[in-house]
Structure 1
Amino acid sequence: MNIKKVGIDAGGSLVKIAYEDSGVFHYKKYPIRELTSALEWIKMVAPNAKVALTGGKAAFMKDQFFPEGKIFPEFDSTCEGAMFLLKEAKIDTTKKLVIVNIGTGTSWFVAENNNYTRIFGSGIGGGTLMGLGALLTGETDFIKLVELASKGNKGNVDLLVKDIYYPQEPPIDGNLTASNFAKGVINPNSSKEDKAAAVINMIGETLVLLSMQAVTAFHADRLVYIGSTLAGNEPLKQCLSSYKKMVGIDHVFLDHGEYCGALGALLLL
């Protein structure tokens, strides 16, 4: 390996690593509980590399592992990485974009050309999926929760618009949620799969509503979804995508979007 630069983003759930080897970017991630072993791996394979640190554990990483490392603000790193990946994907960054970073929680940014600003955040995100999912299903593994959700039916847990209007036809899409988890009283024996699907549905719908407010307020042309919660999470992607026709705003899921923070920190070195 000929690794000269490494970017490390350690937050509430994951350690994300981006490194450049002979001009090519590579990516790795670990659960936060494996932080020490992940950083020891970096020190072993890239002992002379310049290291950029970001995320909530940046100061800890510098103090304990990389005293010569440089800390970069998390939000700057995320947006730098996102803008780089957007250009790599040949997406026009001269138009105003809303970037939605779905990590443990979720942050929203407005970006145009090389300028970006964080506009607000929410505690709804991957941490919600992991925490509420564990409480409702007993499952604590992200991949298994996503697998459960892919087999579930949110309508067995959520009260839908068509449920309220039955037997008449509803005036809007009947599959929209009227109230999250409202069938918990009348259908307490719903399956783990249904509960997991309802959790992801609640997260997705909440993020779409907040994202559309951002698009409207800042007159943006496109939504850009990034963040670790999207990785391998087809149920959440499908939920977010289902609103495309309804709201009339284009969106994109960036490849390697979960590594924007690590990549951006590396690029800022």
Structure 2
Amino acid sequence: MIVAGLDIGASVTKGVLVDEDKIWALSEVQASDSLASGLGCLGKLLSNANVKMRDISKIALTGSIGRGFKLDMIELKYKVVDESRAIGIGGLYLSGKKEAVVASIGTGTAIVHARSDQARYHVEHLGGTGIGGGTMIGLGRLLLNKDKASTIFKQARSGDITRTNLLVQDLVGGPIGIVPANATASNFGKVGDETRLEDIALGLIVMIAETIATVTYFAAKQKSLEREIVFVGKLPSEKLFSEKLVETSSILGGKAT
């Protein structure tokens, strides 16, 4: 039984084809209009997997879907899934955990508590932050004259964070308690004449990742799940970003995947 899943985002629509527990194909299209991007993403999925529309048994939709959103023209069964449940259940599935706090990093960031109880799932929305991929694109345009995440990441790989951020070691010459010497004391607190564009790109990525990791950690702490944090989304698929998420969570006393 092949199922198509579409996540209609504010900036990007993402899709997946699943047959039982096997992922067949992934796709992604820019989202300017939810209906057009949804249909385009579905078509790209079918093309990537070399399957026909008739091979799809049903479609699951989630994300930024308005009340008037319909896919009746494709003559297939579809179901709209609450976005919080999609984040929570998806995070548990991908991580293999039975309980976790899941942060979905998209244009902004949503944080949920998810728990599986045999065949039932319990999902609670904990909160979130407006910091996310949209922040990176917006500030990337303002600071770097770049509006693609891939370009910003490429530029950041040759950056030096010591030219951008004020670190703990800059203030006290070493670590403070459990906080390591290379931890951030102030994002962009060390910008000067020697700061380059690639340093700014790295500083931007670090600031976004540290902010999301910190907010998620304290959301998880209230559930006593700070050692069971899961990050999902487009940005965590970037090694540089995911490493900073994990590192920041660890500094705070948590554990993230």
Please indicate, yes or no, whether the TM-score normalized by the shorter chain is above 0.5.
yes
For the aligned residues, what is the CA RMSD?
2.7
Checking the alignment, whether the CA contact within 8 Å between 2:235 and 2:242 is kept in structure 1 is no
Determine the structure 2 residue equivalent to 1:266.
none
CA 1:170–1:41 in structure 2 vs 1: closer, same or farther (change >3 Å)?
Answer: closer
Q: CA deviation at 1:206?
A: 0.9
Q: 147-156 or 27-36: which moved more?
A: 27-36
Give structure 2 stretches of 5+ with no counterpart: none
Q: CA deviation at 1:83?
A: 2.3
Amino acid in structure 2 at the alignment position of 1:110: H
Q: Deviations 1:19-38 (Å, cap 9, x if unpaired)?
A: 13587322323232482533
CA 1:245–1:183 in structure 2 vs 1: closer, same or farther (change >3 Å)?
Answer: closer
Q: 1:86 aligns with which of 87, 90, 95?
A: 95
Q: Which has the higher contact order (CA 8 A, sep 6+)?
A: 1
Checking the alignment, whether the CA contact within 8 Å between 1:10 and 1:58 is kept in structure 2 is no
Pair 1:104-2:107 in alignment = yes
Q: 121-130 or 174-183: which moved more?
A: 174-183
Cα distance in structure 1, aligned partners of 2:254 and 2:248: 9
Task: Indicate the SS of the match to 2:203.
Answer: helix
Pair 1:52-2:57 in alignment = no
The 5-angstrom pairing of residues 149-160 of structure 1 reads: 149-160=156-167
Q: CA deviation at 1:215?
A: 2.4
Determine the structure 2 residue equivalent to 1:140.
147
Determine the structure 2 residue equivalent to 1:214.
219
Cα distance in structure 2, aligned partners of 1:104 and 1:117: 20
Q: Deviations 1:53-81 (Å, cap 9, x if unpaired)?
A: 21114656525854753222211122222
Determine the structure 1 residue equivalent to 2:40.
37
Cα distance in structure 2, aligned partners of 1:137 and 1:213: 31
Q: 1:127 aligns with which of 129, 134, 142?
A: 134
Higher helix proportion, which one?
1
Task: Indicate the SS of the match to 2:70.
Answer: helix
CA 1:4–1:211 in structure 2 vs 1: closer, same or farther (change >3 Å)?
Answer: closer
Cα distance in structure 1, aligned partners of 2:157 and 2:207: 14
Cα distance in structure 2, aligned partners of 1:67 and 1:60: 17
Checking the alignment, whether the CA contact within 8 Å between 2:103 and 2:109 is kept in structure 1 is yes
Give structure 1 stretches of 5+ with no counterpart: 253-269
Cα distance in structure 1, aligned partners of 2:21 and 2:255: 32
Q: CA deviation at 1:189?
A: 5.3
CA 1:65–1:30 in structure 2 vs 1: closer, same or farther (change >3 Å)?
Answer: farther
Pair 1:241-2:246 in alignment = yes
Q: CA deviation at 1:117?
A: 0.6
Amino acid in structure 2 at the alignment position of 1:62: K
Q: Deviations 1:88-139 (Å, cap 9, x if unpaired)?
A: xxx4x1xx42111111111111122221211001001111111112211111
Cα distance in structure 2, aligned partners of 1:206 and 1:101: 14
Q: CA deviation at 1:170?
A: 5.4
